[in-house]
């Protein structure tokens, strides 16, 4: 997070726009929006100092539902767009919102390189293990036997493990939240935004329409039994062996964020011509 002047008496409502979300009634993403606005209020950031960047999908509609600056770009490329924004505007707080299809499938390569690059931003993936906006196709986190019209009888392909991928790729902060716990999620988002470098927060966010079974998640989630570690080896073992329902901050690294110097030098443009003069 960049240094900002804290404003007094910021309310979550200050960070909400007047737009009515297109989400289905009961969608987990409503709670994620609530967590966003609560986190921003806790941080006391002026809304104009925050930019929420997203791609395509149900979760990616979130920028316009905030009162912050936003960019709703093309499918899968939000992290790249956010990287270009943040390195040239390090004064802004950049939050990237995505889903399991947008972030892990079409945007998978950018996920690896955003973790590796470790630019100071927060990446929130609302994982509902389904493509909702296109009406129910399997994503990289869908269970292999989950039956869909596109994959009758299931994909037969094991889901991948985004938190392990993030750790292996160099993410500096890794957490898992559940949308049904907006206060806890807001607290984690506050920590994620404050933590220097690339922070990755997976939010389990049930799809009530195509994955009604995910209503059971509220019974399955639990606080992670151990505190966050800064040891990548320990974090790797823990993430590889968990069942996907341990919540909280699971890894806090101490890599220095990547921020090339900007605006430091400013020579006269005619100096550049010396490269070509005979």
Partner 1 sequence: MTASPSISIAIIGSGGSGALTTVNFLLEVASSAGWHGLFTRTLGPQIRGGEAAGLLRLAVHPVDCPPDQFDLIIGIDWLNAHRFGAEIKAGPKTLVISDPRGGEPPPMVTQSGAHVVEIPMKEMAKSISGGRPNMIALGIASRLLGFTVEQMLAPIAKQLSGKGAAAIEASRAGIKAGFAAAAGIKLDVKLAAPSPSDARRWLLSGNEATALGAIRGGVRFAAAYPITPATEILEWLSPSLAKVGGILLQAEDELAAINMIIGSSYGGTPALTATSGPGLSLMIEAIGLATASEIPIVVVDVMRGGPSTGIPTKSEQTDLNIAIYGLHGDAPHLVLAPQSVADCLFTTQWATYLAEALQTPAIVLSDQFMGQARAAIERPADVAFIGARAVATDMSSAYKRYALAPGGVSAMAIPGTPGGQYTADGLTHSEFGIPTSSAADHLAQLDKRRDKLERFNYGDHWASIEGSGELALITWGSLTGAAREAVGRAAADGVDVRVIAPRLLAPVQPERLAAALDGVKRILVVEQTHSGQFHRYLRAHYDLPAPVRAFHRPGPLPITAGEIHRAIMDWR
Of 27, 58, 82, 189, the one binding partner 1 (CB under 8 A) is 82
Piece of the chain touching partner 1 by CB under 8 A; list 35-43, 68-76, 158-166, 238-246: 68-76
Piece of the chain touching partner 1 by CB under 8 A; list 64-72, 122-130, 146-154, 232-240: 64-72
CB of 49 to partner 1, least distance (A): 6
CB of 15 to partner 1, least distance (A): 10
83 binds partner 1 (CB under 8 A): yes
CB of 56 to partner 1, least distance (A): 8
Piece of the chain touching partner 1 by CB under 8 A; list 47-55, 150-158, 176-184, 204-212: 47-55
Q: Are 31 and 182 in contact (CB under 8 A)?
A: yes
- SS3 track for 79-114: HHHHHHHHHHCCCCEEEEEEEHHHHHHHCHHHHHHH
Residues between 4 and 43 with contacts to partner 1, criterion CB under 8 A: 19
CB of 132 to partner 1, least distance (A): 17
For residue 107, the number of C-alpha atoms closer than 13 Å in the C-beta half-sphere is: 30
271 binds partner 1 (CB under 8 A): yes
Q: State which residue, 48 or 147, has the beta carbon closest to partner 1.
A: 48
CA distance 173 to 166: 9
Q: State which residue, 31 or 61, has the beta carbon closest to partner 1.
A: 61
CA distance 242 to 211: 22
Q: State which residue, 14 or 242, has the beta carbon closest to partner 1.
A: 14
1 binds partner 1 (CB under 8 A): no
CA distance 115 to 171: 4
91 binds partner 1 (CB under 8 A): yes
Q: How far is CA 242 from CA 80, 117, 222, 224, in A?
A: 30, 26, 11, 9
CA distance 88 to 185: 29
CA distance 72 to 247: 28
Q: How far is CA 88 from CA 29, 85, 96, 148, 195, in A?
A: 30, 6, 16, 43, 19
Of 11, 44, 88, 150, the one binding partner 1 (CB under 8 A) is 88
The footprint of partner 1 (CB under 8 A) covers: 19, 46-49, 51-53, 63-64, 67-74, 76-89, 91-92, 109-110, 112-113, 260-267, 269, 271-273, 275-278
């Amino acid at each position: 997070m960049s240094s900002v002047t804290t404003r007094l008496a910021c309310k979550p409502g200050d960070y909400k726009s007047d737009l009515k979300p297109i989400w289905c009634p009961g969608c987990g993403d409503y709670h994620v929006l609530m967590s966003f606005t609560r986190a921003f209020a806790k941080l006391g950031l002026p809304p104009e100092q925050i930019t929420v960047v997203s791609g395509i999908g149900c979760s990616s509609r979130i920028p316009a539902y905030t009162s912050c600056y936003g960019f709703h770009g093309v499918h899968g490329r939000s992290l790249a767009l956010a990287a270009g924004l943040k390195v040239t505007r390090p004064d802004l707080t950049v939050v990237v919102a995505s889903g399991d299809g947008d972030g892990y499938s079409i945007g998978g390569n950018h996920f690896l390189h955003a973790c590796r690059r470790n630019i100071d931003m927060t990446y929130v993936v609302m994982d509902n293990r389904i493509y909702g906006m296109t009406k129910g196709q399997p994503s990289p986190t869908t269970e292999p036997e989950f039956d869909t019209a596109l994959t009758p009888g299931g994909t037969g392909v094991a889901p991948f493990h985004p938190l392990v991928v993030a750790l292996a790729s160099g993410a500096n902060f890794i957490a898992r939240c559940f949308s049904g716990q907006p206060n806890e999620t807001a607290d984690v988002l506050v920590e994620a935004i404050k933590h220097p470098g690339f922070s990755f927060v997976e939010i389990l966010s049930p799809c009530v329409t195509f994955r009604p079974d995910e209503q059971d998640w509220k019974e399955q989630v639990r606080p992670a039994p151990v505190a966050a570690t800064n040891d990548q080896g320990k974090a790797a073992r823990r993430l590889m062996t968990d069942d996907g329902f341990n919540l909280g901050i699971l890894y806090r690294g101490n890599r220095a964020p990547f921020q090339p110097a900007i605006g430091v030098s400013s020579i006269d443009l005619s100096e550049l011509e010396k490269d070509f003069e005979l």
